[in-house]
């Protein structure tokens, strides 16, 4: 008992030194989540309840803890490890409440009363358990997005809010959104985290319009959250009523210091139908563009997923997949799963030739992806113009409308962002935005233009 009391006193003193030395007031938030244990030879083991807490304590505090502990025990070791469920670790007596910190138990509960939460099951209902930071494969194209996601998930306060991801389909936006939610739930169990897709937001809003009680429930849902994550907001801000409601929710949460993480298919300045005030508020946070995966990253993803599936494929087959499917990671993973399923269900080995046959439909779609040069040439030929005409500054009606249509089709049929489209057509991005909006308006009432657009799309998507 005396030995436990001595260790308790030493651990308390070390924690105070750590807090003072690092000038970090959140030290005890994390050390209260681990169980300290000293061995007969003075080794210090810090048992964390999860790999996430273990990683965080190791990264932030382990080096300083080692320095302080080894100052009087030069031959001792300090280890931060994940506690296994079956382990029984003796916990020394609790430190009196008069002290500023308490010796942790295996699961330390907050002394702050937790407010009632409505519809409790909702808050995890839409999260995929496989979408975590551990399963996210990092490369140069997504490293900044990954680090920003980890920062907003792990730090109690950050210098940016909201965090706004934008990218094409299948590049990891949703994975990172789910990973943020899971990490916050693990590190801050007292926080209320809500993730919704734009469709789920829209459905709940429509339900709220049915009665005053339903609308109160809708508003209360968002009022109670500490962290709000909404995926694909381009479908919300493009509609007048949902945009107005979202704007109120956004302003309310930001003013109260709550975290907001959003994703969309384009940057705030490129969103259509959005009020300028909301556009500016979105852009004031951290806007992160996730770029398409490089060949090296695609290979890393395939190897990682293959390991997770506990199977093996020839390197030549992996290289074939990485070179053939370049713009959509989700599609790349789907192709791999199809090959693995075929191998497991029918037996035998997947060869390069059999992979081509099994993935014929996916590769067919990939091979006929439309590119900007195809579009500008097709539009020029269709209207009996030249590519030079469409890129020129001429304002003839016979050139302006086809030029605008070409820009519209480039936005619709390619993953190019507005600045890239502007550069391709030798214009600024506001001109491109105006062109796209103009064509959208004309298509609503000009049946001839709509037919011409459909003919061009069909022509461009034909297998060449």
In contact, 259 and 191? CB cutoff 8 Å: no
Any idea which fold 295-367 has?
Answer: Helicase, Ruva Protein; domain 3 (1.10.8)
Any idea which fold 2-82 has?
Answer: GMP Synthetase; Chain A, domain 3 (3.30.300)
pLDDT of residue 70: 84
Q: Looking at the DSSP assignment, which residues form a beta bridge with residue 263?
A: 165
pLDDT of residue 368: 55
List strands edge to edge, sheet with 286-289.
193-197, 227-231, 259-264, 163-166, 286-289
DSSP structure class, residue 88: -
Q: What is the pLDDT along the chain (464 residues), one digit of tens a residue?
A: 455 567 777 787 888 888 888 777 777 777 777 888 888 888 888 888 877 788 888 888 888 888 888 888 888 888 888 776 555 444 444 433 333 344 444 344 444 444 444 444 455 557 888 899 988 999 888 999 999 999 999 888 888 999 999 988 888 999 999 999 999 998 888 889 999 988 888 888 888 888 888 888 888 888 889 999 999 888 887 677 788 889 999 999 999 999 999 999 888 888 877 888 888 989 989 999 888 888 888 899 999 888 888 888 888 889 888 888 877 888 888 999 999 898 888 887 888 888 888 888 777 655 556 789 999 999 999 898 999 999 998 888 889 999 999 999 998 888 788 888 989 999 988 899 999 999 988 888 888 888 888 888 877 865 44
pLDDT of residue 105: 42
Within the chain, all domains assigned CATH 1.10.1750.10 are found at 372-461
DSSP string over 358-395: HTHHHHHHHHT---HHHHHHHHHHHTT--HHHHHS---
The token duo for 242 is: 């949902």
In contact, 464 and 368? CB cutoff 8 Å: yes
266's CB contacts (< 8 A; 6+ apart) are 166, 234, 417, 418
Within the chain, all domains assigned CATH 1.10.8.60 are found at 295-367
pLDDT of residue 296: 87
Read off the pTM.
0.62
Task: Give CA–CA dist 6/12, Å, rounded.
Answer: 10
464's CB contacts (< 8 A; 6+ apart) are 368
Which residue's structure tokens are 């502007």? 422
CATH number given to 372-461: 1.10.1750.10
Does an H or E element contain 229, and which? strand 227-231
pLDDT of residue 311: 86
pLDDT of residue 211: 87
Nearest to 330 by CA among 124, 131, 126: 131
185's CB contacts (< 8 A; 6+ apart) are 124, 191, 193
Q: Looking at the DSSP assignment, which residues form a beta bridge with residue 48?
A: 82
**Domain 137-289 top-level CATH class:** alpha beta
pLDDT of residue 102: 43
């Amino acid at each position: 008992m005396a030995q436990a009391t001595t260790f308790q006193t030493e651990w308390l003193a070390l924690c105070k030194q750590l807090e003072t030395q690092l000038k970090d007031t959140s030290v005890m938030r994390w050390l209260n989540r681990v169980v300290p244990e000293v061995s007969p030879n003075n080794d210090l083991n810090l048992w964390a309840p999860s790999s996430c807490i273990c990683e965080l304590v190791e990264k932030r505090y382990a080096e300083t803890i080692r320095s302080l502990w080894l100052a009087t025990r030069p031959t001792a070791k300090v280890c931060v490890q994940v506690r296994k469920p079956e382990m029984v670790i003796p916990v020394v007596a609790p430190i009196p409440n008069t002290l500023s910190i308490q010796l942790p138990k295996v699961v330390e509960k907050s002394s702050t009363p937790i407010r009632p939460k409505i519809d409790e099951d909702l808050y995890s209902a839409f999260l995929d358990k496989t979408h975590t930071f551990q399963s996210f494969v990092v490369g140069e194209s997504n490293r900044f997005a990954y680090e920003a996601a980890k920062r907003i998930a792990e730090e109690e306060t950050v210098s940016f809010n909201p965090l706004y991801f934008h990218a094409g389909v299948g590049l990891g936006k949703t994975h990172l959104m789910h990973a943020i939610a899971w990490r916050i739930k693990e590190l801050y169990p007292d926080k209320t985290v809500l993730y919704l897709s734009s469709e789920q937001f829209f459905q709940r809003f429509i339900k709220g319009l049915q009665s005053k009680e339903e609308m109160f429930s809708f508003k209360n849902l968002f009022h109670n959250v500490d962290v709000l994550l909404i995926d694909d907001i381009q479908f919300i801000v493009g509609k007048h009523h949902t945009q107005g409601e979202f704007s109120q929710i956004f302003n309310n949460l930001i003013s109260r210091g709550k975290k907001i993480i959003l994703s969309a298919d384009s940057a705030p300045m490129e969103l259509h139908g959005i009020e300028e005030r909301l556009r500016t508020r979105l852009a004031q946070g951290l806007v992160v563009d996730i770029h398409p995966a490089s060949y090296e990253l695609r290979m890393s993803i395939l190897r990682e997923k293959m390991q997770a599936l506990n199977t093996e494929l020839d390197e030549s087959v992996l290289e074939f997949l990485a070179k053939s499917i370049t713009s959509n990671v989700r599609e790349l993973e789907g192709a791999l799963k199809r090959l693995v399923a075929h191998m497991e269900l029918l037996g035998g080995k997947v060869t390069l030739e059999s992979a081509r046959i099994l993935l014929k439909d996916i590769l067919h779609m990939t091979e006929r992806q439309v590119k900007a040069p195809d579009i500008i040439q097709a539009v020029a030929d269709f209207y009996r113009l030249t590519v030079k005409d469409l890129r020129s500054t001429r304002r003839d009606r016979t050139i302006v409308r086809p030029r605008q249509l070409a820009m519209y089709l480039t936005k619709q049929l390619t993953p190019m962002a507005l600045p890239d489209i502007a550069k391709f057509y030798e214009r600024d991005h506001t001109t491109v935005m105006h062109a796209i909006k103009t064509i959208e308006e004309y298509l609503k009432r000009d049946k001839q233009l709509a037919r011409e657009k459909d003919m061009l799309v069909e022509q461009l998507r034909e297998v060449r």
